[in-house]
Amino acid sequence: MTIKNKLRAGFSFLFMLSLLCCGLSIYFLNRLSADARNILKDNYKTVVFTKNIGVALDAADGPLNTAQTTLIEKNLTQQEHNITEPGERQLTDSLRARYEKLKKAQNDPAQITVLKGDMKRLLFGIMQLNLNAIDHKDTRAKGTADRAILLVAFTASFLFLVAFSFVVNFPSYIANPLRELTARIKEVSNRNYHQQLDFKSNDEFGELARAFNTMTLKLDEYENSNLASILFEKKRIETIINSMQDAIIGLDEKSVIIFANQVACSLIGLPEKSITGKYAPDVALENDLLRNLLINDQPKMKIYADNRESFYSKAVLSIVSKDKVIGSVIILKNITEFQQMDEAKTNFIATISHELKTPISSIKMSLKLLEDSRIGAVNTEQRQLLENIDEDARRLLQITAELLDMAQAETGKLNLHFGSTHPQNIVDYTIKALKTTAEQKHITINVKCAQNLPDVHADLDKSTWVLINLLSNAIKYSHEKSVVDLVVKKHHNDEVEFSVEDHGRGIDQQYLSRIFDRYFKVPGTTTDQTGTGLGLAIAKDFIEAQAGKIGVESELGEGSRFYFTLKMAGKN
């Protein structure tokens, strides 16, 4: 029998016993209620009727008056309809006959006295008969109550014993197999597969024991048959890792070094057997490179290896199993060749940018001379061509300047000249530089810069360049006859914030994270709005080189707000 059927049978048996106990209780309660109802309904009412008739007879010694007659007639009639005991009918009929004679003998006192005496004897007989019946029924009700108490007590006791036995034994019936199963599973988790369950039953526990025993046999068989192949795969993976040109170090969740390939051991300067199985922070105490690998989050590192300085990129990969990190792998990739190529590219751009500035400046000087009327008059078409050449030369000069600034930022050779200056000076230079550009689009620059602001510690030229770039972009992306807000205010306790806010088309949220990347341009801009994509990247380098921060806030259709912070003088 299954556990479900056993539980169903047990609970059904307890339910039937409960129903039996309740049924017996209801049956005997109904019996007692019926006996009490019979006593009250039949015998007690007769006693009341006879008492009322007797009271009416004793009310006067002479003939009956109207009130007495009415009372006797009413109670006698009710008694005639309440005959319940053997012999009560004869006594009641005799009472009726004596009463009828009494009504007719109103002028004979002697006969009235005799008839009243007969009626009283008859009333006493009826009353005695019903009192005896009440006593008999009371005795019978007591017997019923005693039997009910005995049977209900016996049934309840039996039910209690069965329920108590069920409560005591059933938990053990369920818990003991589960406890044994739990103990065996713990052994299996410790790779001890020689575990067997012996449940001598044909229910689900027996089926569970057979399934568990089959599982442990299969696990033991699998463990023995696959151990060699697992060792082979482990050896193959170690060979692959050791043959890789990148340095690879594996750690478990407790920062214990699991493996390190030959390249990693060569960089660290320690043999594999001296670091494998060791707690990484302990090894790092005596090894600077490993300490930097564990502590520093820099993606690019300079390492002295093979008698020269080499550049490596660091990547840390987390090993996750079932949403839990069980280890990590540190990978060092040699990027020295790419670094050298990048430096060559940067030097080339810097050189070309620097060399281009001279001929472009010469072109602009020649354009100025051509525009001078002393050189000669030019017609309208020629003047238009000269203006186009001047605009193109201006753009080329701006591009070369940005490329040169970018090259300096990439090589870390920014020449910063720090000094203490009031924010108003930076604002004034910016407004002066872009006044004509703003007037051409009929744009109003709303400046808010309090005179009581503290001085900032910054490179005046670089900071002004950044603010000019932000304000120039705001003018470029604003509609004609609109307003651009330039606000300077204190930020926190040690910084001053410069912000430029326009009310143009704004920037989509998906592009905000890339807005300061080199060469990035927001899609959808018009030809006259596009630039090199270097201005904001260079601005970011200039501000961060001065220990400041730069950022953007924008909503599509609402405009954009670019801001940067500079340290207050004396707070750096």
Condensed to tens digits (0 to 9), the pLDDT of residues 295-337 reads 877 777 777 766 777 778 888 888 887 778 888 888 888 777 7
- Examine residue 381 and state whether it is found in any structural domain, yes or no: yes
Confidence of residue 498 (pLDDT cuts 50, 70, 90): very high
| Highest-confidence segment of 10-19, 199-208, 325-334, 366-375 | 325-334
On the 0-12 / 13-18 / 19+ scale of CB atoms within 10 A, 554 is: buried
More confident residue, 193 or 40: 193
Task: Identify the three-state secondary structure at position 558.
Answer: coil
Which of 22-26, 301-305, 510-514, 549-553 shows the highest mean pLDDT? 549-553
Q: How far apart are CA 135 and CA 454, in angstroms?
A: 114
Q: Which residues have C-beta within 8 Å of that of residue 277, sequence separation ≥ 6?
A: 256, 257, 258
* Maximum alpha-carbon separation in the chain: 178
The total of structural domains in the chain comes to: 3
Q: CATH number of the domain that 444 lies in?
A: 3.30.565.10
**Which residue among 334, 361, 381 closes a domain?**
334
Q: DSSP characters for 33-84? A: HHHHHHIIIIIIHHHHHHHHHHHHHHT-SSS--HHHHHHHHHHHHHHHT---
- Tell me the percentage of the chain whose pLDDT exceeds 70: 81
Look at the block and give the residue holding tokens 């597969």. 193
Question: Confidence band (pLDDT; 50, 70, 90) for 354?
Answer: low
Residues with Cβ < 8 Å from 282, sequence gap 6 or more?
Answer: none
Same domain, 395 and 423: no
Query: Has residue 147 been placed in a domain?
Result: no
Cα atoms found within 13 Å of the Cα of residue 151, Cβ hemisphere only: 17
| 538: CB partners within 8 A, 6+ apart | 402, 405, 406, 409, 469
Judgement on whether residues 432 and 562 belong to the same structural domain of the protein: yes
> Nearest-CA neighbor of 10 among 160, 170, 153?
170
| pLDDT of 262 | 82
523 compared with 5, residue with greater pLDDT: 523
Are both 474 and 501 inside the same structural domain? yes
Domain holding 310, by residue range, is 244-334
Do residues 449 and 530 both lie within one domain?
yes
Do 430 and 544 reside in the same domain of the chain? yes
Is position 375 within any domain? yes
Q: Which of 334, 366, 387 is the last residue of a domain?
A: 334
Question: Residue 408 has what pLDDT?
Answer: 61
pLDDT for 356: 65
118 in Cβ contact with 97 (< 8 Å):
no
3-state secondary structure of 561: strand
For residues 403 and 421, state if they share a domain.
Answer: no
More confident position, 464 or 338: 464
Q: What whole-number distance in Å separates Cα of residue 207 and Cα of residue 165?
A: 26
Secondary structure of 432-454 in the HEC alphabet?
HHHHHHHHHCCCEEEEEECCCCC
Q: In the listed set 376, 407, 438, which residue is the last one of a domain according to the structure?
A: 407
Beta-bridge mates of residue 259: 250
Amino acid letter, 524: G
Q: In Å, what is the CA distance from 232 to each residue of 228, 238, 259, 416?
A: 6, 10, 16, 60
Report the interhelical angle of 460-476 vs 423-440 (nearest 10°): 30
The total of other beta-carbon atoms located within 10 Å of residue 316's CB is 14
Regarding whether 358 and 469 lie in a shared domain, the answer is no
Predicted local confidence at residue 2, as pLDDT: 65
Q: Which CATH number does the domain housing residue 379 bear?
A: 1.10.287
Dump pLDDT digits (tens) for 201-210.
777 777 777 7
Distance set, CA 500 to CA 111, 367, 421 (Å): 136, 34, 20
At 548 the pLDDT is 92
For residue 270, what pLDDT is reported?
83
pLDDT at 332: 82
Within this chain, do residues 252 and 300 fall inside the same structural domain, yes or no?
Answer: yes
* CB 302 within 8 Å of CB 321: no
Residue-wise pLDDT for 40-88, tens only, equals 556 778 888 888 888 877 776 667 777 878 888 888 888 788 887 888 8
Assigned token pair, 444 = 């109003």
Question: In this model, does residue 529 exceed pLDDT 60?
Answer: no
Query: Is residue 401 pLDDT above 70, yes or no?
Result: no
Average pLDDT, the chain: 79
User: Is 198 or 247 the better-scoring residue by pLDDT?
Assistant: 247
CB atoms within 10 A of CB 432: 11
| Percent of the chain topping pLDDT 90 | 13
Note whether 255 and 281 are same-domain residues. yes
Q: Say whether pTM exceeds 0.85.
A: no
What integer pLDDT is reported at residue 554 of this predicted model?
92
**Residue 421 and residue 493 share a domain:** yes
Q: Is residue 19 situated within a structural domain?
A: no
Task: Tell me what the mean pLDDT of segment 194-199 comes to.
Answer: 72
> Has residue 307 been placed in a domain?
yes
pLDDT band of residue 560 (cuts 50, 70, 90) is: very high
CA dist 455 and 477 (Å) reads 31
Q: Are residues 455 and 528 in the same domain?
A: yes
**Residue 125 in this model has a pLDDT that exceeds 80:** yes
Find the mean pLDDT for residues 285-295. 81
**Within this chain, do residues 488 and 545 fall inside the same structural domain, yes or no?**
yes
- Gap between the Cα atoms of 209 and 201, Å rounded: 10
pLDDT by residue (tens digit) across 210-226? Answer: 787 788 877 777 766 66
* Identity of the highest mean pLDDT range in 72-81, 126-135, 431-440, 515-524: 431-440
Q: pLDDT value at position 349?
A: 60
Any domain includes 466? yes
Residue 142 included in any domain: no
pLDDT tens digits, residue range 74-124?
A: 888 887 888 878 888 888 888 888 888 877 776 777 787 887 788 888 888
Q: For residue 500, is pLDDT > 90? A: yes
Give the CATH number for residue 261: 3.30.450.20
pLDDT of residue 414 exceeding 60, the answer is yes
Give a yes or no: residue 143 inside a domain.
no
Provide the terminal-to-terminal Cα distance of the chain, rounded to the nearest Å. 84
CA atoms within 13 A on the CB side of 22: 6
- Rounded to an integer, the average pLDDT of 148-153 is 78
Residue 294, phi then psi, degrees to nearest 5: -80, -30
Residue 461 CB neighbour total at 10 angstroms: 14
